[in-house]
Amino acid sequence: MTTAQLEHIYQPHGSALDVMHCRAPEVLMSGPAGTGKSRACLEKLHLLALANPGMRGIIVRKTLASLGSTALVTWREWVAKEAIAAGIVKWYGGSPQESPQYRYTNGSVITVGGMDKATRIMSSEYDVAYVQEATELTETDWEAITTRLRNGRISFQQLMADCNPDVPHHWLKRRCDSGRTRMLLCRHEDNPVLFDPGTGQITERGRDYIGKLDALTGVRYQRLRRGLWVAAEGLIYEEFDPSVHLVDPFTIPSSWTRWWTVDFGFTNPFVLQMWAEDPDGRLFLYREIYRTRRLVEDHARHALSLVRRCTDCCQARGQRGHSCHTCDDCHLEWTEPKPRAVICDHDAEDRATLERHLQMSTSPAKKSVSDGIQAAQSRLKAAGDGRPRLVLVRGAVVELDTELEDAKRPTSTEQEITGYVWDQTPGKPPKETPVKENDHGMDAMRYMVAERDLGGRPRMRWL
């Protein structure tokens, strides 16, 4: 019998080689964007599954949806491509009893999951877990994963992760500083796609990629180009703490008031934020459209599709490509309360288009910047009950804008807030004018706070 040979070439360097040899219970690859962190962790996971029959691993991120355009692309196209083509690794889409997973012919399994559906993945035991973009998780998430590392099919159990640096007081950085997690510092020179490992010279692709990172400014340059755990100099919302102001998704009571805020854009992001206000007046950003290069009318249809469902769907009549949201025969009902107001940037043409396609009127935002920022700063501080009055729900963005991600620009309000800084140009008054860059979610958030704290309630009419 002839045994088929499977060839897969991967030559790790620097920190990528270090993680291959590391057996620490917890290891974090920290560094700038594009250093090959994810590839190295996935290669190790794949190698362990091939070499240890019956091994159980997991690839996890804060939300399962975000894995589809990130780690799993690298997995299919670079790491397990040959094994998948040869039938050694097969995809299983999951069932009510089992999570989605890659199954190996030797009995090994790599489960795929998100902490937004933690009960599905926390019911199993694993040998190795890989967490992509670990800064998205809470420390409770992290510790919950460590409790599942007890499958015992290899000689060590490990939680390995990667991330781009965040604020220096982030719980993950503190965990590394205390010695509970080992941190491996990554460099662009570790990635053979960007730097030739033989000569150390930058490649053509490397020049293009590093050029994009060199064009970044402020805290995004420090973190994504230099790999530093830093806070932005001149940060406007100094009170913002991810461990306090970011909360996991939860079921919002139907009795809570809803608000929508909109900042128009096309080349720059169009932002539509959906807010819920609890009985104590606390505001929660629970859903967000953050997208470039789409028309206002398309954004309006998208927004309505998120909050309405068909009660008399004619898809059963065999219509292919059918959209209930544009069909006159379908009866649509709201799945959550309608917004009390849709508060918008002042562009008259865009507002008229949005009103026509939403079939709702809009209210002009209170756009004075200084008092709006001060009101938001006040809401970020702890109230009398010890909780802030402005909160963001993790993973609120409903669709990732890959063009923004590729350009290393923020893809959500959550990503904007830690880089929102005062313009410190000489000659300008300090702490009065924000830098007008990557601030579209910040503007929409300010509209919301100004509406509740600096102005009266609008009269709402339905068209």
pLDDT of residue 456: 54
Among the three residues 147, 174, 190, which one is the final residue of a domain in this structure?
190
370 and 281 within one domain: yes
Residue 359 has pLDDT above 90, yes or no: yes
Among the three residues 173, 190, 207, which one is the final residue of a domain in this structure?
190
Sign of CA dihedral 168, 170, 176, 178: positive
In a domain, 284, yes or no: yes
Residue 376 has pLDDT above 70, yes or no: yes
Cα 50 to Cα 385: distance, rounded to the nearest angstrom: 53
pLDDT of residue 188: 96
Cα 155 to Cα 430: distance, rounded to the nearest angstrom: 57
In a domain, 463, yes or no: no
pLDDT of residue 459: 43
Residue 97 has pLDDT above 90, yes or no: no
178 and 284 within one domain: no
Q: How far is CA 149 from the centre of its chain?
A: 25
pLDDT of residue 1: 42
Residue 93 has pLDDT above 80, yes or no: yes
pLDDT tens for residues 158-183?
999 999 999 888 999 999 999 999 99
For the segment 348-367, the average pLDDT, to the nearest whole number, is 96
For the segment 127-148, the average pLDDT, to the nearest whole number, is 95
pLDDT of residue 193: 92
pLDDT of residue 295: 97
In a domain, 355, yes or no: yes
In a domain, 178, yes or no: yes
pLDDT of residue 424: 86
Closest CA to 208 of 222, 224, 194: 194
251 and 153 within one domain: no
In a domain, 345, yes or no: yes
Mark residue 264 as left, alpha or beta (left: phi above 0; alpha: psi -120 to 50; beta: remaining).
beta
Domain count, the chain: 2
Among the three residues 162, 190, 218, which one is the final residue of a domain in this structure?
190
pLDDT of residue 70: 86
pLDDT tens for residues 272-318?
999 999 999 999 999 999 999 999 999 999 999 999 988 876 555 55
410 in Cβ contact with 419 (< 8 Å): yes
Residue 325 has pLDDT above 80, yes or no: no
257 and 147 within one domain: no
In a domain, 126, yes or no: yes
For the segment 267-275, the average pLDDT, to the nearest whole number, is 98
Mean pLDDT of the chain, nearest integer: 91
158 and 59 within one domain: yes
Residue 329 has pLDDT above 90, yes or no: no
157 Cβ contact list (under 8 Å, min separation 6): 25, 126, 127, 128, 149, 150, 151
% residues pLDDT > 70 (the chain): 95
| Range of lowest pLDDT (136-150, 242-256, 305-319) | 305-319
For residue 104, what is the domain's CATH number? 3.40.50.300
For residue 302, what is the domain's CATH number? 3.30.420.280
pLDDT of residue 394: 87
Residue 118 has pLDDT above 70, yes or no: yes
In a domain, 430, yes or no: yes
152 and 265 within one domain: no
135 and 247 within one domain: no
Residue 16 has pLDDT above 90, yes or no: yes
What range defines the domain where residue 111 resides?
A: 15-190
308 and 181 within one domain: no
174 and 50 within one domain: yes
pLDDT tens for residues 404-453?
988 889 999 999 998 899 998 887 777 789 999 999 999 999 999 999 99
- Whole-structure pTM value: 0.76
pLDDT of residue 426: 83
259 and 167 within one domain: no
pLDDT of residue 320: 60
171 and 251 within one domain: no
Residue 225 has pLDDT above 60, yes or no: yes
393 and 271 within one domain: yes
Residue 2 has pLDDT above 70, yes or no: no
For the segment 122-140, the average pLDDT, to the nearest whole number, is 94
Sign of CA dihedral 26, 52, 145, 231: positive
